[in-house]
Amino acid sequence: MPPMAKVALLLVACCAFAQTSHDSILKPLKFRNIGPAVMGGRVDDFAVVENDPRVFYVGTAAGGVLKTTNGGTTWEHVFDEVGAPSIGDVTLAPSNPAIVYVGTGEANNRQSSSWGNGVYKSSDAGKTWKHLGLKESRQVFPGYQISEARFPGLFA
């Protein structure tokens, strides 16, 4: 057998073996959502619990609000039932980090995100949400500081 044929045969054998070994290694792995990048690709805002920085919320362009309680190792979608996946602002009440405000509608709206429909409040760390108003606002900008002090009466 000519030397070049031996080299070609060796390369084919190596490639076949490599493909088999990769398949056996990768086959047991399952796709899973590891955070907001899979849902929307863009993060619009963070809200961190100051006395426990392992707990924070992430508002995404088109994936809603996610919460972690272990510094980002695992994530939970806490805003899916609301029906407004585009987030512009996430803020925690300084007096109580279980009170979370979410302003819907990303400020950098694109074809991949939808309009928002106002401001929501959770009094139980993201378990349930109440619509507070500003339904026709379409966008709430990050850093706008949604709070009872800024908008007295709106959050009653």
What is the tens place of the pLDDT at every residue in 11-58? 666 555 554 566 677 777 777 665 555 444 677 788 899 899 899 999
* pLDDT range class, residue 111, cuts 50, 70, 90: low
To 10 degrees, the CA torsion angle through 115, 84, 154, 51? -120
User: What's the CA gap between 108 and 131, in Å, rounded?
Assistant: 22
The pTM is what?
0.63
- pLDDT at position 67: 94
**Residue 132 — very low, low, confident or very high, per pLDDT cuts 50/70/90?**
confident
Residue 122, CB-side half-sphere exposure with 13 Å CA sphere? 21
The residue extents of the domains of the chain are 1-30, 36-133
Torsion of CA 115, 75, 46, 135, to 10 degrees: 30
Cα 75 to Cα 73: distance, rounded to the nearest angstrom:
7
